[in-house]
A = this chain, B = another copy of it.
Amino acid sequence: MTDVTIVSEKLEQAGAVLADYDVDAWITFGRETSDIAEPVLPLLLGEDFVWPGMVLITQDDERIVLCETHDADTIRSVGLHEVFSYENSLERVFREVIESIDPDTIAINYSKSNNTADGLSLGLYRLLEEYVDGASVEATFESSEPIINRVRGTKSDTELKRIQCSVDISLEILETMRNAWRPDWSEADVAEFVHEEVESRGLSTAWHADVCPAVDAGSQAEWGHAKPSALRLPEGEVLHLDFGVVYEGYASDMQRLYYRPVDGNSTIPTGLQSAFEDVRAAIQAGFETLRPGIQGHEVDTAARETLTDRGWPEFQHGFGHQVGRNVHDGGTYLGPRWERYGDTPTKDVLEGQVFTLELGIETEWGYLGQEEMVVVRADGAEYLTAPQTSIELLEE
Residues of A within 8 A of B (CB): 1, 31-32, 34-39, 51, 68, 70, 73, 86-91, 108, 110-127, 143, 207-208, 210, 224-225, 326, 328, 338-340
- In the complex where A88-B338, A339-B88 touch, is A36 in contact with B112 (Cβ < 8 A)? no
Known: A70-B224, A225-B73. A36 touches B119 (CB 8 A): yes
Are A328 and B32 interface neighbours, CB within 8 A? Answer: yes
Report copies per complex. 2
Residues of B within 8 A of A123 (CB): 110-115, 117-118, 143
Residues of B within 8 A of A326 (CB): 35
Main secondary structure of the interface of A (DSSP, over half): loop
The reply to whether B68 and A340 contact each other, CB–CB distance below 8 Å, is yes
A259 to chain B, nearest CB (A): 28
A145–B36 CA distance with the chains assembled, in angstroms:
16
Q: Which residues of B lie under 8 Å from residue A51 when comparing CB positions?
A: 340
Residue from the list B35, B89, B108, B224 in contact with A339, Cβ < 8 A: B89
The 6 closest A-B pairs by CB, nearest first: A110-B122, A118-B123, A32-B115, A118-B121, A88-B339, A112-B123
A150 to chain B, nearest CB (A): 18
| A-B contact list, 19 entries, CB within 8 Å | A31-B118, A32-B115, A34-B208, A35-B37, A35-B116, A36-B115, A36-B118, A36-B119, A37-B37, A110-B121, A111-B123, A112-B124, A112-B126, A113-B123, A118-B122, A118-B123, A120-B122, A122-B122, A123-B143
